[in-house]
Amino acid sequence: MKLFYLMEAHIKSFLRNWKNLIFLIILPFILISLVFLSFNPNGLQKIKAGFIISSNDFLNFVSFFNYLDIKYYDELDKCINELKQHKEYVCVEIKNYGNYYVNIFYDNTREPVIWEIVERIKGTFDFIKVEISKKKTGTFIENIKYTSDKIDIIYTKIENAEKQINQLSYDLDNTIYDLKTAKSDLQNNIETMESDIYQIEYEKDRFKIEKNNFYDTTISYINQINDERSNEIKNKINYFNDYMNFYLLKLENKIESYKYSINLGKSYIKKIDNYNEKLIETKNQFSKYIYEIKNIKSDIQEFRNNINFLKKINPEDVSNPIYLYNQPVYKPEIINYNELTEKEINKGINMISLQTIFPNVLILITLFLSILVSTFISLNHINSEAKIRLNLIEDVFIHEIFSIYLSSLIIVIIPTFFVLLVGNYLFKINIFFNFNLIILIILFLCSTFIFLGMSISYIIKKESITFLLSSFILVFFVFFSGFILPSERMSTIFSYFSSNTPTKIALSALSKVSFYNQTNIIKEIFIMIEWLLFSFILCISAKKIKNE
């Protein structure tokens, strides 16, 4: 119960002092409101930029830089001079050597906003680059389409020629076949004739021999008879023999004539063979041509396929082979992109950047209020007129600590809750979805810095020096929490320390919980408990050592 009476005294003392109310409640409220009002929901203001353009062609693209307040310079040095006088943020030099060469000179002393500006200008140039490439690639692809049509016509002609050659080759095949058949028939006939002639000649020779034998025998017989009648017979036989010889001669002439015809037939067969060979040679030549035509067709087909592939290519694919989309994983639930106008989408995107800085603002406010309020209440208590009377009360050591802690916590939680409400209703972050976890994180953070503020007060006691040291501590934690210099840019040891400061840990936990509904923040809670224990032990030790 002692705790609550001490808390009552602290809180009432705090709230009834108008200076406290003004400096530690009203001013922070005004500050918080100003901080939130200072954010431009429309994103970056118009940024002053100098352009040095050597080619008027590029002027067509200047409209893409509508977020810049552009001033044109004829010399780069003049623009750089203005930049050094903080009259320009960037100087953009554009030269046209067939291709555009762009130099962006920026004031790198103006971090971090300069990176946002440079990135945005770079993004616009990327867009322009794609537009130019698209145009050039479009013309190229049109030419390819025209060439492809021409090749199609040539291919069709080659196909027709191939058909004709194929027809000729087929006809040639028929002719060769016919010739072969004719030759075969002729050869058969000649062979039959030769066989017949041979048979006839043989029979003729036998007949001639028989006849001559008969004649000789008969004549000899007749000669032996030797009468008149025998002469007559002999004459008749001679006559018949002459007649037979005449017919045999005639037959022989005929046989010779047939032999001549056979030889003539054989010479025709040879001619047919020669013609056939020539035709076969021609046919082979045709086959070769057909094969070559087929190869040409295959090559042309491959070429056509390639060209068809090129024809199907979207100019944008060629000019922009890599589509790089920066996709923020966290998207505010309020944004339904399908129903929004472009202006509203931009506003939505800016809302994301505002939402993402909300935890930083919350942590900073919590940090400042916790240390300042706890320091103030502690000093009020330590230097209070009533302190001497309180010292007479037995067993009040721990009550004093917790009364200051809880009083500070209550006073800090009020504006912090206001900030959370702002986050929920103005920034549209779903604070109340994981409210328990968010409050737990805030509670750990507040408690750590309240005990730290109390420790400083117990150690120093003197108001001016205590507030000076508190300011140093604030600056220290602001610096080592990545608000000024990101932890990732620090050297290893400092980066490790910075990554484990209560502010940084709370920031990480808050982002996880409020943006991604990630409830597994055990690691962060564990580290925050360590810091809380450290500051609590420091506070108790300081109070004990300083006998407060």
Selected from 253, 391, 413, 448, the binder of other proteins by CB under 8 A is 391
Selected from 294, 387, 462, 544, the binder of other proteins by CB under 8 A is 387
State whether residue 516 is helix, strand or coil: helix
| Binders of other proteins in range 6-25 (CB under 8 A) | 6, 8-9, 12-13, 16-17
> What's 92's DSSP letter?
E
State which H helix or E strand residue 263 sits in. Answer: helix 228-312
CA distances from 377 to 91, 99, 414 (A): 52, 68, 16
Selected from 74, 228, 394, 488, the binder of other proteins by CB under 8 A is 394
- Give the residue carrying structure tokens 């000899």: 220
Q: How far apart are CA 389 and CA 387, in angstroms?
A: 5
Preceding peptide of 321 cis, ω within 30° = no
As a dihedral over the C-alpha atoms of residue 281, residue 285, residue 287, residue 293, rounded to 10 degrees, the angle is: 180
Structure tokens at 159: 């196909």
Selected from 37, 392, 493, 522, the binder of other proteins by CB under 8 A is 392
Q: Is 31 in the site for other proteins (CB under 8 A)?
A: no
Residue number with CB closer to other proteins (17 or 499) = 17
Residue number with CB closer to other proteins (345 or 386) = 386
Selected from 34, 97, 327, 389, the binder of other proteins by CB under 8 A is 389
CB of 454 within 8 A of CB of 376?
Answer: no
| Binders of other proteins in range 498-537 (CB under 8 A) | none
CB of 358 within 8 A of CB of 423?
Answer: yes
Q: CB count, 10 Å around CB of 223? A: 11
Q: How far apart are CA 233 and CA 226, in angstroms?
A: 10
* Residues ≥6 apart with Cβ < 8 Å to 410: 7, 11
Structure tokens at 362: 């919350």
Residue 383 CB, nearest distance to other proteins (Å)? 12
Q: Is 386 in the site for other proteins (CB under 8 A)?
A: yes
Residue number with CB closer to other proteins (444 or 458) = 458
Selected from 272, 318, 396, 410, the binder of other proteins by CB under 8 A is 396
Residue 2 CB, nearest distance to other proteins (Å)? 6
CB of 456 within 8 A of CB of 473?
Answer: yes
User: 179-215 burial by CB neighbour count: b if 16+ within 10 A, else e?
Assistant: beeebeeeeeebeebbeebeebbeebeebbeebeeeb
Q: Is 545 in the site for other proteins (CB under 8 A)?
A: no
Residue 394 CB, nearest distance to other proteins (Å)? 6
Selected from 1, 34, 37, 522, the binder of other proteins by CB under 8 A is 1
CB of 131 within 8 A of CB of 57?
Answer: no
Residue 398 CB, nearest distance to other proteins (Å)? 14
Site size for other proteins, by CB under 8 A? 22
Residue 382 CB, nearest distance to other proteins (Å)? 14
Residue 458 CB, nearest distance to other proteins (Å)? 18
Residue 393 CB, nearest distance to other proteins (Å)? 5
Selected from 228, 339, 342, 385, the binder of other proteins by CB under 8 A is 385
Residue number with CB closer to other proteins (74 or 385) = 385
Residue number with CB closer to other proteins (339 or 385) = 385
Selected from 30, 209, 225, 393, the binder of other proteins by CB under 8 A is 393
For the chain, the C-alpha Rg in angstroms (whole number) is 58
Residue 461 CB, nearest distance to other proteins (Å)? 17
Stretch that binds other proteins, among 2-10, 61-69, 99-107, 201-209 (CB under 8 A): 2-10
Residue 9 CB, nearest distance to other proteins (Å)? 5
Residue number with CB closer to other proteins (8 or 191) = 8
Q: Any idea how long the chain is? A: 548
* Residues ≥6 apart with Cβ < 8 Å to 449: 366, 367, 370, 371, 374, 477, 502, 535
Q: Is 5 in the site for other proteins (CB under 8 A)?
A: yes
Residues near other proteins, by CB under 8 A: 1-2, 5-6, 8-9, 12-13, 16-17, 384-394, 396
